[in-house]
Amino acid sequence: MPSTDFAELLEKHPPVEESLIEILHDVQLAHRYLPRPALVAVAAHCAVPLARVMSVATFYKAFSLEPKGEKVLKVCMGTACHVKGASQLLDEAERLLGCKCGETTADGRYTLEEVNCVGACAMAPLVIEDEQYHGKFKPVDMKLLLKAGE
């Protein structure tokens, strides 16, 4: 990551601990994860120990310390979705993407994740692609969804 890009990002935020989450959010948006040099620079900018930045970065699920794919595909594994076949959806996604849940495809296009109930149980089973909800999903729909994302 070019340090000048990162300096620009930091300049937008007051150098105080209260800015931590907002800054990390911006870094995550810009890079799709939180690179270690960014965490070190954020700690210096906010004048907090690196351990404090790490604790925030690892506490929130929205942050990732590993590079994510261009798109994030999430399969809800909450009870309602599970009962309606979420496991088969996850199996199909793993098969089609060629990666396991929690991993990113070799070409960097997708990261596959499972989530717990997101409060949309009426739509079960649910698949979320880049925050777009796809309800009443069937394994056969997975191929179409991934094809549409190409």
Residues of this chain that bind ligand FES (CB under 6 A): 76, 78-81, 117-118, 120-121, 124, 126
Place of tokens 């088969």: 88
Please identify the residue of the shown chain whose CB is closest to the bound ligand FES.
Answer: 78
- Distance CA(2)–CA(96), nearest Å, equals 35
- Distance CA(22)–CA(1), nearest Å, equals 19
Q: What is the smallest separation between the CB atom of 112 and ligand FES, expressed in angstroms? A: 16
Q: What is the smallest separation between the CB atom of 92 and ligand FES, expressed in angstroms? A: 17
Q: How many CB atoms lie within 10 A of CB 3?
A: 10
3-state secondary structure of 60: coil
Q: What is the smallest separation between the CB atom of 116 and ligand FES, expressed in angstroms? A: 7
State which residue, 15 or 85, has the beta carbon closest to ligand FES: 85
